[in-house]
Amino acid sequence: MTLASLLLVVSAAGLHAGWNALAKRGRDPVVFLWCATVASTLALAPIGVWILVRGGFPPAAIPFVGGTIVLHALYFYTLGRAYGTGAYSLVYPVARGLGVALVPIVAVLAFDEHLSGLGTAGVALVVLGIVSLHVLPAGGAASWPGRAILWPVLTGLTIAAYSILDKAGVSRLNPVAYMLLLETGCALLGSPLVWIRARAVRAELASWRTILAAAVMSALAYTLVLFAFRLSKTGYVVAARELSIVFSAVIGSLWLREGRLGPRLAGATIVLVGVACVALAR
């Protein structure tokens, strides 16, 4: 993994953990995420439209843009439902961890990518770190109350799906333009919320500064990942991106007051070792 792609992904990881924490604090996480998507669309519009006007919109990119809009709309909905039913420090690692576990496997089949021994060990360590970090508490007993794991698992599946699709999509269209079309499509698909949850929309808009911050962080984070996809293998990018788990351990324990900082930092060390292995792999 190149130094440039690693820097892009680490920056994206910090931004991603941050905007997810803001979403968790929203009154209605699903509505909050839609409001942030609308704001992201407006923020990306000037440069994204300029790129599309100059470079055009290749027909070959159409199925990838359409597919990623649907998958991201599902992602935002399942993520919102997950944060509405579970703690940030439990939802986040399960959802992100499934992406790490599934994407490299699918990427081997879809893109004929081959993980080196060190890269494979790094991915395995990231997954192990996630499991030790959040799924099992210090006492060793399972912490998930049955149905509560459903939405994080569904979120993880959508992450794996859109990561594979977007790897191919950004090879056909500039990442910023791709991101603009993605956000625009999700904003349009979620627009019925204005009528279905009108009161919730008004309540969230009262915190427009937080929504704007989450929107900028979200759009920038994934745009950096899309550029990283152009520079490195899919499995390595997705795995290194899970450094956000380290940030989520601290944010969840201290800022959101969910406790258990010690065990979570111990698990984060395993994640860091895994990320280092992925970064050093060729």
Compute mean pLDDT per 10 residues along the chain, 282 residues long, and list them: 83 92 91 94 92 92 95 94 82 76 67 72 78 56 56 87 87 91 95 93 92 90 84 74 81 81 77 72 60
Confidence at residue 128, expressed as pLDDT on a 0 to 100 scale = 82
AA identity, residue 77: Y
Answer yes or no: are the C-beta atoms of 244 and 42 closer than 8 Å. Answer: no
Helix 3-24 and helix 29-55, axial crossing angle in degrees, nearest 10:
140
Answer yes or no: are the C-beta atoms of 239 and 246 closer than 8 Å. Answer: no
> Domain ranges in the chain?
3-280
pTM of the model: 0.81
Confidence at residue 6, expressed as pLDDT on a 0 to 100 scale = 83
For residue 16, which of 168, 223, 227 has the smallest C-alpha distance?
Answer: 223
